[in-house]
A and B are shown apart, each in its own frame.
Chain A
Amino acid sequence: MARSFRFYPKKRGNRRTGSGRLGRLGEALFFAVFLAVGCGVLVLMVTTLLVPQWRLNHDFVETTCKVLDKRIAEEDGEDGTLYRPELEVEYHVGGRTYRVWAYDIPASHSSGREAKRAVIDSFSIYTEENKKLYPCWYDPAEPGTVALVRGYSWLLVVVALPLVFILVGGGGLLYSLFHWGKSVEHRAATTRHTSQQRFPNIPDDSDITNSPGTTLDFRLPMATSPGWALFGALAVCLFWNGIVSVFVVIAVNSHLEGDPEWFLTFFIIPFVLVGLGLVVFFFRQLLITTGVGPTLVEISDHPLYPGKQYKLFLSQSGRLVVNSLEVSLLCEEEATYRQGTNTRTETKDVRRDEVFRREGFRVHSGLPFETECEFNIPADAMHSFKSDHNGINWKVVVKGDIASWPDYTRSFPVIIRPANARGNV
Chain B
Amino acid sequence: MNGSAIIIQLDGNKPGGRQLDGGQLGRKARVYQPGEILSGQYTVDSASPSDIGAVETSVLWYSEGKGDEDLAVHEFWRKSTENGDFIDARRPERFSTTLPQSPLSYDGRIIKIRWCVRVRAFVGRKEIVAEEPFQLGNVPSQEEEVGEETS
A residues whose Cβ falls under 8 Å from a Cβ of B? 1-5, 7, 13-17, 19, 183-186, 188-189, 192-195, 197-202, 333-338, 344-352, 380-383, 385, 387-392, 417-418, 420-421, 424
Contacts and interface: CB of A to CB of B under 8 A. Distances in A.
A380 B102 contact: no
Chain B CB within 10 Å, residue with most, of A335, A337, A381: A335
Interface in B76-91: 76, 78
Nearest to B146: A349
A13 B64 contact: yes
B11 interface: no
A233 to B, nearest CB: 15
B129 to A, nearest CB: 4
B58 interface: yes
Interface string B122-151: 000011111110000111101011111111
Contact of A202 (B15, B103, B126): B103
Given A4-B1, A389-B68, A389-B70, A333 B131 contact: no
Given A2-B16, A192-B72, A348-B148, A335 B66 contact: yes
Contact of A418 (B5, B73, B74, B137): B137
Contact of A188 (B60, B130, B139, B140): B60
Nearest to A383: B102
A17 B111 contact: no
B72 A13 contact: no
B151 A385 contact: no
Contact of B120 (A185, A199, A418): A185
B138 to A, nearest CB: 7
Given A198-B101, A202-B103, A336 B68 contact: yes
14 contacts: A2-B6, A3-B131, A17-B131, A188-B60, A192-B72, A193-B73, A193-B74, A333-B110, A335-B67, A336-B68, A346-B66, A347-B150, A382-B108, A392-B111
A31 to B, nearest CB: 22
Contact of B103 (A3, A338, A383): A383
